[in-house]
Structure 1
């Protein structure tokens, strides 16, 4: 049975190391192939987010992970070691929710379209994505409920299904 809470965002305390698991335990290597490690370049510098595949060409994450350059890494187990299973995919089109408000984190959800934000999983179903939490390293306090955004997710994925850059 999966634990009630899968920590997907890398919420680090000032004393934590990159990739350290806080409030959870290490998963069996490559047992969660849908998990995504997201590296983003923002005006404030590089940031790291979690996310997960919702289709072979879409990743779901938090809208606060938006940046000028976004790379999704799949097949990763260790963020500090290079593994032959890793696939680095540049994001072609990030699609934040149109009503995302970065001041209060409302509608903090984004789809990232790749060439081919970490879920809260209950009973093997993704129920939420980490929105934000305590910077002291406690488990995330706020999640975005995916079911509230299903019409937008379906509409957006349908609209961009055939979109490819020129």
Structure 2
């Protein structure tokens, strides 16, 4: 998942697409995060992976940079997984019918790094696969808030991978830290998070997963620094709520009992 190290002068940005990891975290309790999604993005003859999360029975939220590639053939979404390399009976594998990247997404600074994926069929909601709510209106997350991120990304900067879902606790940081280190940091649409002790972070492959605070998805794992683990940046979901609603209507989804998405 995201990166952590002491603040110094030179740095380079690196998106977490592909084989990602959680650094300094722990294996999640099996199926304790039933909203988690594993995305396999096929572009040309190659595949990459990202995280995501289920906000409607047929809609997954993820990061735009995960699908910002030429020649994408399809996106496969796996729900209900713990060990992504096992054929678990709990897993549901669904092809994407459509996906939409925010029209103002920019790889320079990862501005508006958000994407919605429409599934070809609705997920079967059960104890292994469930929705997670996203905040609206006054649902702000502030400095010091205790949050968590989960994913199947790398577990160390040396490239060790995990097959099982891992999780890590991260705090919302003072935005001045990210403004100092990220030239394109935008306070309205981004959240500055991390663990200043430099022992916990998200990393490659955790992109697109949710930043969960108080049981709601407040952010989307977006980007960090190439040579440091602290701080890291998540997309602020609340800022994009109007756009999300517009896309849900475009997907012909209706807010009906049994499929809550917003609190």
Match of 1:15 in 2: none
1:1-166 pair list within 5 angstroms: 11=16, 20-43=21-44, 45-66=46-67, 67-114=72-119, 115-116=121-122, 117-135=208-226, 138=229, 141-161=232-252
Scaled by the length of structure 2, the TM-score of the pair is 0.52
What's the RMSD between the two structures over aligned residues?
2.5
Partner Cα separation in structure 2 for residue 95 and residue 155 of structure 1:
11
Gaps of 5+ in 2: 3-14, 123-207, 254-263
Where 2:27 maps in the other structure, the secondary structure is coil
Work out which structure has the larger RCO, using CA pairs closer than 8 Å and 6 or more positions apart in sequence. Answer: 2
Does the aligned pair in 2 maintain the 1:23–1:139 contact within 8 Å? no
TM-score (structure 1 length as normaliser): 0.80
**Secondary structure, aligned partner of 1:29:** coil
Count of paired positions: 150
* Counterpart contact for 1:52–1:60, Cα < 8 Å: yes
Q: Which has the larger radius of gyration?
A: 2
> Distance in 1 between the 2:209 and 2:228 partners?
16
Match of 2:249, SS state, is helix
Q: How far 1:139 moved relative to its partner?
A: 6.9
Shift of 1:134: 3.6
Q: CA 1:81–1:160 in structure 2 vs 1: closer, same or farther (change >3 Å)? A: same
Q: Are the aligned partners of 1:36 and 1:72 in contact in 2 as well (CA < 8 Å)?
A: yes
| Conservation of the 8 A alpha-carbon contact between 1:22 and 1:139 | no
Question: Cα deviation per residue 1:56-101 (whole Å; 9 max; x = unaligned)?
Answer: 1100000011133111100100122221111111111011111111
Q: Which runs of 4+ in 1 moved over 4 A?
A: none
Q: Which runs of 5+ in 1 are unaligned?
A: 1-6, 13-17
Cα separation, partners in 2 of 1:136 and 1:41, compared to 1, 3 Å: farther
Change (3 A) 1:130 1:80: same
Between 18-27 and 127-136, the greater mean CA deviation after superposition: 18-27
